[in-house]
Structure 1
Amino acid sequence: MTTKTYQVSRRTLLSACALVTLGMGNAMASNWPDKAITLVVPYSAGGPTDVVARLLAVPMGQVLGQSVLVENTVGAGGTIAPTRVAKAKNDGYTILIHHMGMATAPALYKKLPYDPLKDFEYIGQVLDVPMTLLSRKDFPANNFQELQDYVKKNQEKVSLANAGIGAVSQLCGMLLMHQLGVNLTTIPYKGAGPAMNDLMGGQVDLLCDQTTQTVPVIKDGKRVKVFGVTTPERLSSLPDIPTLNEQGLKGFDVKVWHGMYAPKGTPKEVIDKINKALNVAIKDDNVKARIADLSSDLVSPEKATPEGLRKHLTAEVARWAKVIKETGVTAE
């Protein structure tokens, strides 16, 4: 019997391996999902981002045919959750919902464990959320002019809560102090929920927070005072509340946007399936009604795409790097 020897080039071998890997990836994507998906939230339960995540989870799960489980991974100013997702297996079973903290983190942290522009696949934008400036119910000021006068005369006595180092509420508060020319005592919490609880309980004086959490409390009218909204235009759900811009803080504009991400290398077919579920969810009647009640705006179909989120995040990283440098905000 004659034995034949075949020589296979390294390039041919690598190509064959690549085809096998691609075939396995395509097979995995076609069968995906066959178990529950984890939607990671960087902040505590009950906070604004958590509210949005839980609203979307049910209709997304119905489209995907599997449960979407919300997991609150809290800490380090919202950087632990994206770090976890960036390092997760890129099979689509671990995804992230995060607000504009994805854009501010590179400028806030000297050593960030992930790169928002390189370590993720983009699924799509979700919604935009205005913010409001609140105080405890018995705070001495009754309008924004009185607030400005009081904090300038008593800044060493006034406390300003936020949802944690690097959170949007911290950035909003720092911008407020910068434009008022004051330096208040800032108190970071492990999420917006605990910060709001202490504000309503009278343990802290001021808080800048998203309408997803503040509108119900404002409309209740018994537990907080409201001094203005952070967007250039008034809110349809709070038409009598003036903007900070119209009350003298010219150019003050903070609107929180949210996006959804997956680990880098997640198959395109899987991203497409998640994106389809996201787009169905943001058109769901219950989701639209709840988001409208919270004075937030679901994004257009053009923004709820991987490319829409990529473009927006890239622009926002550049924008906030400049703002953070000018205001001196830092997380370290």
Structure 2
Amino acid sequence: MKSLLASIAIATAAFALPHAASAQTYPDRSITIVVPFSAGGPTDTVTRLVAEAMSKDLGQQIIVENVGGAGGTLGAKQVADAEPDGYKLLLYHIGMATTATLYRNLPFKTLDAFEYVGLVTDVPMTILARKDMEAADFAGLVEYAKANADKVTVANAGIGAASHLCGMLFMSAIGTPLVTVPYKGTGPAMTDLLGGQVDIMCDQTTNTTKHIQAGTVKAYAVTTPARLDVLPDVPTTREAGIDGMEFGIWHGLYAPKGTPAEVTERLSKALQVALKDPNVVARFAELGTAPSSEADATPAALKAKLESEIARWKPVIEAAGQYAD
């Protein structure tokens, strides 16, 4: 019996050693961060800045892979199904919370499919219109939209995209359904807004600031409690007389369920270092946002945020009745 127990102990130790070593030496090769949207969009921009800074701290290259489609759920599913070893991660925005209600047949259980690394940033939203929009200010835009509800078009980058969520919240806040025009990505939606083919769009400052500063679109409001330094002439929605529209598009970093705690903690520490990188801080400021604090760039903070945001957006989505299969 003693001999049998000894054999089992040796076999168990031999099996455990590689796993213990992998956690202790992580990472020993390149890491991939999946962005569940097309290249060049606001989430892609955030990810590439953070990935470059994290790679310095981790000592390994971080590859950014764009896996777009189905409002971000295809890329999320790919990571949910990946080996839980810390070498394939997901950087997803607020859509991680909203898809739980938006999609009737979501291919993963949001709260059960991932481990949490930390919050990355909370990007403000801007309410824009075509350059030649008749309304002079936000109150005028609301008045115009209500008077022409059957023909005013609101562009978005697809079901579940940040622009789609903001558009729904805008229509909810003014109590008027408008004509929604979904696109396959932020790029084509913005192109048509710039060309005057659509009337209104609500999107992240990381995508809109350069257009606002260039004067190629008309900016009406930002969704922050205070005005942004990068857009000082654009009023807040509350200043403009609309309550209930103060929100941002937060981004979080995730790993597949079952990833060792030591690995997620190491990634969280690298994220905290990256978010203090001078280049990241400066570039985020240029884009109208700021890195998450060290306290927020943690597994516990991201988990709490996701749970609270699922609860917040569920009634908004259900009231709008805009679902995806």
> What is the TM-score when the length of structure 1 is the normalising length?
0.91
Task: Deviation per CA, 1:149-200: give whole Å up to 9, x if none.
Answer: 2222222222111111111211110121122232222121222222212211
For the residue of structure 1 that corresponds to 2:268, the secondary structure is helix
Rounded Cα–Cα distance in structure 1 between residues aligned with 2:2 and 2:292: 62
CA deviation after TM superposition for structure 1 residue 18, in Å: 5.8
Q: Are residues 91 and 297 of structure 1, via their aligned partners in 2, closer, same or farther at CA, if it must alter by over 3 Å?
A: same
- Aligned-residue sequence identity (percent) comes to 51
CA distance 1:139–1:25, shift in 2 (3 Å): same
2:220 maps to 227
**Cα shift readout 1:96-155 (whole Å, capped 9, x = no counterpart):** 001111111111111211122111111111111110001111222222222122222222
Pair 1:95 & 2:82 matched: no
C-alpha distance in 2 between matches for 1:154 and 1:225: 18
1:137 aligns with 131
Return the match for 1:275 from 232, 250, 268: 268
Q: Counterpart in 1 of 2:55? A: 61
Indicate conservation of the 8 Å contact 1:25/1:267, yes or no: no
CA distance in 2, matches of 1:209, 1:22: 48
Structure-2 separation of matches of 1:167 and 1:184: 17
Residue 65 of structure 1: CA displacement?
1.7
d(CA) in 2 for partners of 1:190, 1:24: 44
Choose the corresponding residue for 1:77, options 61, 71, 78: 71
Deviates more, 1:22-31 or 1:261-270: 22-31
- Residues of 2 paired with 1:251 and 1:140: CA distance? 25
Kindly state the Cα deviation for residue 248 of structure 1 after the two structures are TM-superposed: 2.2
Moved over 3 A (4+): 4-8, 15-22, 326-329
1:26 aligns to 2:26 (yes or no): no
Q: Which residue of 1 aligns with 2:303?
A: 310
Which residue does 1:190 correspond to in 2?
Answer: 184
Q: CA deviation at 1:261?
A: 0.3
SS of the counterpart of 1:128?
strand
In the alignment, is the contact (CA less than 8 A) between 1:43 and 1:190 conserved in 2? no
* Structure 2 Cα separation of the partners of residues 294 and 266 of structure 1: 32
Alignment equivalent of 2:118, drawn from 120, 124, 131: 124
Partners of 2:169 and 2:219 lie apart in 1 by 18
What is residue 238 of structure 1 aligned with on the other side? Answer: 231
Alpha-carbon separation, structure 1, partners of 2:256 and 2:15: 18
Q: 2:106 aligns with which of 106, 112, 125?
A: 112
Amino acid at match of 1:307: A
Gaps of 5+ in 1: none
RMSD: 2.2
Number of aligned residues: 325
Structure with bigger gyration radius? 1
What amino acid maps onto 1:157 in structure 2?
Answer: K
Residue of 129, 141, 163 corresponding to 1:169: 163
Asked whether the equivalents of residues 228 and 241 of structure 1 are also in contact (C-alpha less than 8 Å), the reply is yes
Deviations 1:237-272 (A, max 9, x none): 222211122222222222111100000111222222
Taking a change above 3 Å as real, the CA distance of residues 268 and 158 of structure 1, as seen in their structure-2 partners, is: same
CA deviation string 1:199-251 (max 9, x = no partner): 11222211100011111211112x10011111232222222211122222222
